[in-house]
Amino acid sequence: MDMDTTSTRTHDDIRIAPRALATEAVHAGRDDLARQGLHAPPIDLSTTYPSYDSRGEAARIDAFAGTGAEPDGPPVYGRLGNPTVARFETALARLEGTEAAVAFASGMAALSAVLLVRGSMGLRHVVAVRPLYGCSDHLLTAGLLGTEVTWTDPAGVTDALRPDTGMVLVESPANPTLAEVDLRAVAHACGSVPLLVDNTFATPVLQRPAEHGARLVLHSATKYLGGHGDVLAGVVACDEEFAGRLRQVRFATGGVLHPLAGYLLLRGLSTLPVRVHAASATAAELARRLAADPRIARVHYPRIGGAMVAFEVHGDPHEVIGAVRLITPAVSLGSVDTLIQHPASISHRIVDADDRKGAGVSDQLLRMSVGLEDVDDLWSDLDQALGRPVRGAGNCATSHMEPAPAH
């Protein structure tokens, strides 16, 4: 191999040995920085980019209209792409093991774009497995984007497919019950229909759905990827062909991510493995303590682990929400601090009560997103918030920890 350092080859031409996730988390999307004499990535806030070559611009816009590939050379307009956001997309694709990733203004904007891509191809039917995040369920059920949904369990996916099925949608672990889906089996059941896995809860640290056959991996980046409760964002990791269509939809509908959010997400990714592992260890310990507690009817904690714990109380869940002091009673998840919420009242309120219950979201269920606090401090807050045992309601014999069912 030519070792001449004056070679004009670009950094991308150099084949880098596969790197571990922890290494990618701090380096992906930043490969060019040192050669530019930079350490922190620059934030490019430009909405537009000057060009004295309008013939060239026309050719680049035509190319984008054809394939949706990122225009070569300087960007054209903020809605077509932004260099800071592109760094985050590159990094997330590397972590998920996909060719590309396309970022959006929120997780819901990301899901909407996928539905619009398939709908625009005449594939308006979606097969989905409950539970899903409440607003994802609502978007499908309400048919706001012209989609029609068939709800099924993983074993029923093949039978639910139709000639106009555009995709199969699952979450694993699912929001809010932490039910797990066998991704390899469901990907097989999909045949040639794209499987979309919402990987928000697991993150690529615990699970890389593309390795199990998912064509589309969606994140509410608002949660663990951002990780600090201060960025609203969504992203789809996928092959370059689908990414091109997503960029075209993003360009046409405008659900773009702000460059500052792109910067914060890239920064969030660098600590993602450390945050997820630390919070997961604490969550597993809290799940153990809850499972042994007579005030708890049932604990849901996934086999793959993670920082989310769900549990059903014998007493009034609203009292627990009102009594926490260290833990913040708030919807959302994936931040450095611990949050708790009552899905039937908040995250899944928009889902019809019968559908909610059918999906295993009981009125007694609380969902906790475990952060980076000390485990004993969290336990003492939970312990006082749970109050006194409900008389006659429970004892250790009825309290058990169940791994969320693998459908």
DSSP 224-239: TTT-SS----EEEEE-
Cβ–Cβ under 8 Å, residues 183 and 157: no
CB environment 39-69: b (16+ within 10 A), e (fewer): eebebbeeeebeeeeeeebeebeeebeeebe
Contact between 133 and ligand PLP by CB under 6 A: the answer reads yes
Q: Does 180 bind ligand PLP (CB under 6 A)?
A: no
Of the pair 96, 171, the CB lying nearest ligand PLP is at 171
Residue 222 touches ligand PLP, criterion: CB under 6 A: yes
Backbone φ and ψ for 339, nearest 5 degrees, come out as -120, 150
Task: For ligand PLP, give the closer residue by CB, 95 or 105.
Answer: 105
Show the 3-state SS of 296-348.
EEEEEECCCCCCEEEEEECCCHHHHHHHCCCCEECCCCCCCCCEEECCCCCCC
Establish whether 198 is a catalytic residue.
Answer: yes
Catalytic annotation on 224? no
Q: 3-state DSSP helix/strand/coil percent for the chain, to nearest 5?
A: 40, 15, 45
Nearest distance, CB of residue 175 and ligand PLP, angstroms: 4
Residue from 106, 177, 338, 369 binding ligand PLP (CB under 6 A): 106
In whole angstroms, the minimum distance from the beta carbon of 286 to ligand PLP comes to 20
Region of residue 392 (phi > 0: left; psi between -120 and 50: alpha; otherwise: beta): left
Q: Report the residue closest to ligand PLP, judged by CB.
A: 107
Binding test (CB under 6 A) with ligand PLP, winner from 84, 175, 248, 335: 175
Q: What are phi and psi of 223, to 5 degrees?
A: -90, -110
Stretch that binds ligand PLP, among 51-59, 130-138, 188-196, 389-397 (CB under 6 A): 130-138
* Footprint of ligand PLP on 259-278 (CB under 6 A): none
Choose the binding region for ligand PLP from 35-43, 46-54, 106-114, 356-364 (rule: CB under 6 A).
Answer: 106-114
Nearest distance in Å: CB 340, ligand PLP = 15
If the CB atoms of residues 89 and 171 are measured against ligand PLP, the closer one turns out to be 171
Q: Which stretch binds ligand PLP (CB under 6 A): 61-69, 117-125, 219-227, 393-401?
A: 219-227
State the number of binding residues for ligand PLP (CB under 6 A): 15
Residue 220 structure tokens: 């509410």
Q: Which long-range contacts (CB under 8 A, 24 or more apart) does 10-19 make?
A: 11/35
Q: Which is nearer to ligand PLP, 28 or 257 (CB)?
A: 257
Q: Report, in Å, the least distance between residue 89 CB and ligand PLP.
A: 16
CB atoms within 10 A of CB 258: 19
**For 92-179, where are the E strands, in sequence order?**
100-104, 125-129, 148-152, 165-171
Shortest approach of ligand PLP to residue 90 CB, angstroms?
20
Check binding of 171 to ligand PLP (CB under 6 A): yes
Query: What tokens does 219 get?
Result: 């994140």
Give me the phi and psi of 240, to 5 degrees please: -65, -35
State yes or no: is 357 an active-site residue: no
Q: Would you state the structure tokens that stand for residue 386, as one six-digit string?
A: 């749970």
- Signed CA dihedral, 182, 188, 191, 192: sign only: positive
Active site residue 363: no
Question: Which one, 29 or 234, has the nearer CB to ligand PLP?
Answer: 234
**Cis peptide bond prior to 173, omega within 30° of 0:** yes
**Measured from the CB of residue 43, what is the shortest distance to ligand PLP in angstroms?**
21
Collapsed DSSP state (helix, strand, coil) of residue 89: helix
Choosing from 60, 130, 223, 247, the catalytic residue is 223
Catalytic one of 133, 224, 263, 301: 133
CB of 106 to ligand PLP, least distance (A): 3
Binding of ligand PLP at residue 200 (CB under 6 A)?
A: yes
Nearer to ligand PLP, 80 or 105 (CB): 105
From the list 21-29, 60-68, 132-140, 156-164, the region that binds ligand PLP by CB under 6 A is 132-140
CA 19, CA 13: separation in Å to the nearest integer? 16
Q: Which of 114, 330, 94 is nearest to 225 (CA)?
A: 94
Q: Which residues lie near ligand PLP (CB under 6 A)? A: 106-108, 133, 135-136, 171, 175, 198, 200, 220, 222-223, 232, 234
Any idea which residues carry the catalytic annotation? 79, 133, 198, 223
